[in-house]
Structure 1
Amino acid sequence: MVRLRRRWALGLLLGGVSASALGTVEPSLGRHRAATLTRHQSSSPVKVENQAAGEPWWPPVGGRPSDDRRRQIQGYASATSVAPGESIDFHVAVNPAGPFRITIHRLGWYGGAGARTMLASPDLAGVPQPVPPADPATGMIACRWPVSWTLRVPDGWASGLYQAVFTSAAGWRACTPFVVRDDRRAAALCVVLPVTTWQAYNQWPENAVTGKSLYNGYDATGRRDSALRAREVSFDRPYANAGQPSHFIRDHDAIQWLERNGYDVSYATSFDLHSGRLDPQRHLGLVFCGHDEYWSPEMRRAAEAALAHGTSLAYFGANSVYWRIRVRPTGDGRPDRVFACAKTSPDPGDDGSGPTVTWRRALQPEQALLGVQYNGIVRSPKPLVVRSAHHWVWAGTGVADGDRIPQVVAGEADGLIARTARPTGVDAAVLSASPYQARQGGSRVQNTHVYETPRGAVVFATGTLGWTMALNRPGLRDARIERATANVLDRMIARSSGGVPTAPARP
């Protein structure tokens, strides 16, 4: 073990870590959910966890973010999720060689601090590690770095989104996310974090030479070229630069809002939904809070089965369930570390499970599940224009038809597409009709949408990537969007007036 200089070690410990068939309603369903709800509200581990003192986790005080050209310090985790009592490995490279430390932080509300530092590793020895060549057939980049440190997750840790922060003696820092699940207790809501989409956008190393994502590679001049993109991506590599995935902030906004308002939540990942580690039917609702494009057939079947059972689904982003992917193990048999999305047909890697193209091209349009589907990239943020203001989603917001809520339609948008399959036998409503100019050209209309099944399940789709920013982002928070979101979640879990307040609480 390398011993750190006393001054640096103390600084790290004291300051540096700051951081389809829907069935009929069962008469007992409402009573069961009400009883379940009372139990959840009185014993929510995440609500208790947020009473602890927190501290910001990023940007670190005095720290310098690593970059992909010099790769001062970077790392990745051996799993996207882990349960208390299980272990997770961290693989870290340091350039030049030298001591480093890993700190673990849970992201949440914590009275506005945003995170809590859970523990720090001992002093560790770091050395440079190579960037492996891309697989010539698939373009996948997969590292085989040795294990730097193993964490056994303490039994008492609350479910949540965690960050491992890697800090060198010279003050360079990077991070990687992972989720702690709760496999023992079924929270009212389970937040499913879109790790497949995070990795699809990961261009590591973003050095204008070798990096590849499912979108681009680099040509000989260093320019991004979609013709040189990867068809498969691996989780055995860092996220680009300092380690925060693309679109990660959208999930973070939703998490802070959910925990600030006292919802009984637990957390899982796309791969947990894919593998069955997450049983959606144990929860009253699933929340897909960010940009969630990449779905395997197993994920979609699990969500549809849960909906048929009466579990609600809330999609806080847009462009959800867009690409159909194939998940496979690594060459040495580790599951849920590689997924493919060729985006072309024929698919050169098709193993008989079907091509990896858009779900609508595979004749299963996302609108059949969500009620709306992706219709464009928003050239510049536009207001969300209210429709069906009398609907229960807008109750208590004070809106009228035609009201404009600024900057909510942003990033990407969904709309109701004519002559495309829609949910049948449901009570549906279009909650907004917002004109915008698409980056692809032309004028389009964004729609927020909700429907309820005969079993009482709710499916809500915001239809915009700007929604979670309106929940939490300074300068963009909007009380009408907060209240509408609370109305949806409260309907999903049937929270009683004696529980956590329906209206969003202001800090």
Structure 2
Amino acid sequence: MGLFQPDAGRGCSDGAPVKGFFTAGPTDDGDAVTGHYYEVASPDPARAQVWIYPAALSYAPGEVLVLHAMSSAPEATLTITRDGAHPEVMLKTRLATRFAPTPFAASESGCDWPEVLRLAIPDDWQSGVYRLKVAIPGHASEGMFVLRAQSPQAKILMLLTTGTWCAYNDWGGSNHYQGLTGPAQGDFAAHVSLLRPWATGFVAWPDGAPRIPHASALLTKPRYPHMDYARARGISKKYASSGWAAFERPFALWCEGQGIALDYATQHDLHRNRGALDGYDRVLIVGHDEYWTWQMRDHLEGWLDRGGQLARFAGNFFWQTRLSDDLATQTCFKTTAEVADPLAHTDRITSYWDHPAIGRPAAATMGLTGAAGVYAGWSRCAAHGSGGFAIYRPAHWALRGTGLGYGDVLGAAAKIFAYEVDGIDYTMHHGLPFAAKDVGLQGDLTIVGLSPATALSHHTGPHDRDRFIGAGDAEDLALRIYGGITPEAVARAAQGNGCMAEYRRGKGAVFNAASCEWVAGLIERERAVEHVTRNILLGDWA
């Protein structure tokens, strides 16, 4: 295994400098959107730097927290803080540290840095997300771990979307989107490791950073202000796509302000523990839950069928993944799965959940699927749409007390219907949407609201052609799900929607507010969005 050689001060291919510990990849074109730049430790032992990561995503009180770090200094300050509206410092101490090289494939197989701390977690530490700040003169960085409760302390559990966090984390150069793999060191990584730091922007939201929704002027090339911002300031280009800071943290802060208590666990906990959700009245998922293992679905469905209620303010239920036995490595071959995945000829192929080879439609679990929805509010993907959910069933309990009527739009001011959404094939009867037949449902689906979405970034010519999303996603969905890249199949893949919908499965239920950006309505304190959120979290589901 080689070591990473280029120093972090190197410029982009167009001469524009990268910031801080970011470097340009071998295939970088210098563009904030299509380019490949990433954060990584410097190979220079004299350069001031300090980095940290835990040996696991989550712990419980009484378990031993294990931290790994490297630094140019012989000593670093560690501060452990329980995150929240009023962050609580739980520990401040000094760590003995030393420089250690960073493997070239750290994103895939981990950093293998020295262990610097073992701490038996006190029994009185509350469930939550704990930030790890390490600092030396001239540099500081942050990590995090999740503390789950030994037994339920709150009625609601926030299930953190750690499968997607891992997929998007690009620290070290590779994630499930871009990477340093392949002959030209420019392919995405099918395997990503937890044993590395989180990229800047995943733990703490950057000051003044824009969210993803943006409507570029018609007949111009679409731009992505969040990625322009990130490259200009030395932040991960995926900061707004995933991570604690982007979605779950602002939702948790809103809950705290409303007096709604939460416990916390990770998707990885759900994967390894069939009973991870037991004892909770409701489970809450927020933001971007794109990546799931077979076992996660098994354990969630079992809890639902026994009477659990899932409040899902999230979108893009899409890919099957696999986890290593130690939970440290996530695998997803994505669009290369048919030829590259060793399990390609089984139902564990790491492709779309709606891939025919898997035989387990996404809608069976959630009632909706990312393959019928995908993008809205950015690029050329319904970017000039309403930004909210058009209401079709205003008498539904989720809307009780809002004053909304048929045809009103919920959340348009804050653009809650944006980024990535989940939908379902449907028919209209007397002005009301109903789920189509044979879409994989295992119970009744009631569509409360919906708006259009698409997998296709449309264009009228070279002057407004998008180089980021383009037609690739719609064509791949057409190929793998709808039988081939034909005009009819591409149109079917491109004509999607996103839904607010109640799905009854077994003795339980899922309420989908199926958009990644629902939390924007809470950030902006949009009254009707807050009211619906309270109805779903606290109200009677009848």
2: CA distance, partners of 1:65 / 1:133:
19
Match of 1:440 in 2: 457
Native 8 Å contact 2:60 2:149 kept in 1: yes
Native 8 Å contact 2:316 2:421 kept in 1: yes
Match of 2:359 in 1: 363
2: CA distance, partners of 1:65 / 1:101:
20
Q: What is the SS of the residue equivalent to 1:240?
A: coil
Match of 1:386 in 2: 391
Q: What is the SS of the residue equivalent to 1:460?
A: strand
Match of 1:286 in 2: 283
What's the offset of the Cα at 1:384?
2.5
What's the offset of the Cα at 1:339?
1.8
Match of 2:137 in 1: 169
Match of 2:538 in 1: 490
Q: How many residue pairs get matched?
A: 402
What's the offset of the Cα at 1:304?
0.6
Match of 2:112 in 1: 144
Amino acid at match of 2:374: G
Q: How does 1:240-255 map to 2 (within 5 A)?
A: 240-241=199-200, 244=203, 246-248=241-243, 249-255=246-252
Match of 2:521 in 1: 470
Native 8 Å contact 2:287 2:518 kept in 1: no
Q: Which moved more, 1:414-423 or 1:480-489?
A: 414-423
Match of 1:213 in 2: 175
What's the offset of the Cα at 1:219?
8.3
1: CA distance, partners of 2:143 / 2:270:
21
Native 8 Å contact 2:321 2:332 kept in 1: yes
What's the offset of the Cα at 1:383?
2.7
**Which consecutive unaligned segments of at least 5 residues does structure 2 have?**
1-18, 23-38, 43-48, 204-238, 426-435, 459-493
Q: What is the SS of the residue equivalent to 1:316?
A: strand
88, 94, 112: which one aligns with 2:65: 88
Native 8 Å contact 1:106 1:118 kept in 2: yes
Q: How does 1:54-453 map to 2 (within 5 A)?
A: 67=22, 68=39, 71=42, 72-94=49-71, 96-110=72-86, 115-121=87-93, 123-134=94-105, 140-170=108-138, 172-185=139-152, 187-205=154-172, 211-218=173-180, 225=186, 228-241=187-200, 244=203, 246-248=241-243, 249-276=246-273, 278-320=275-317, 322-329=318-325, 335-343=326-334, 344-350=337-343, 354-361=348-355, 362-374=358-370, 375-380=373-378, 382-404=387-409, 405-406=411-412, 407-417=415-425, 418=436, 420-426=438-444, 428-436=445-453, 440-441=457-458, 444-453=496-505
Which digits, 9 at most, give the CA deviation of each residue in 1:430-455, with x for residues without a partner?
A: 12122356553466432111134563
Which digits, 9 at most, give the CA deviation of each residue in 1:31-66, with x for residues without a partner?
A: xxxxxxxxxxxxxxxxxxxxxxxxxxxxxxxxx986
Residue 446 to residue 353, structure 1, CA distance change in 2 (3 Å): closer
1: CA distance, partners of 2:273 / 2:159:
13
What's the offset of the Cα at 1:278?
4.8
Q: Which moved more, 1:354-363 or 1:437-446?
A: 437-446
2: CA distance, partners of 1:250 / 1:134:
28
Q: What is the SS of the residue equivalent to 1:254?
A: helix
Match of 1:458 in 2: 509
2: CA distance, partners of 1:312 / 1:470:
22
Q: What is the SS of the residue equivalent to 1:100?
A: strand
**Percent sequence identity over matched residues?**
28
In the superposition, the TM-score normalised over structure 1's length comes to: 0.73
Q: What is the SS of the residue equivalent to 2:88?
A: strand
Q: What is the SS of the residue equivalent to 2:287?
A: coil
- How large is the RMSD of aligned CA atoms in angstroms? 2.8
In the superposition, the TM-score normalised over structure 2's length comes to: 0.69
Q: What is the SS of the residue equivalent to 1:431?
A: strand
Amino acid at match of 1:261: Q
2: CA distance, partners of 1:492 / 1:163:
35
Q: What is the SS of the residue equivalent to 1:486?
A: helix
What's the offset of the Cα at 1:143?
1.5
Q: What is the SS of the residue equivalent to 1:92?
A: strand
Residue 87 to residue 301, structure 1, CA distance change in 2 (3 Å): same
What's the offset of the Cα at 1:273?
0.2
1: CA distance, partners of 2:78 / 2:20:
15
Residue 99 to residue 241, structure 1, CA distance change in 2 (3 Å): same
Native 8 Å contact 2:81 2:88 kept in 1: yes
What's the offset of the Cα at 1:185?
3.2
Native 8 Å contact 1:74 1:242 kept in 2: no
Native 8 Å contact 2:291 2:320 kept in 1: yes
2: CA distance, partners of 1:348 / 1:290:
28
Native 8 Å contact 1:383 1:434 kept in 2: yes
Q: Which moved more, 1:391-400 or 1:146-155?
A: 146-155
Residue 242 to residue 451, structure 1, CA distance change in 2 (3 Å): closer
2: CA distance, partners of 1:438 / 1:279:
34
Q: Which moved more, 1:69-78 or 1:401-410?
A: 69-78
Match of 1:481 in 2: 529
2: CA distance, partners of 1:278 / 1:117:
31
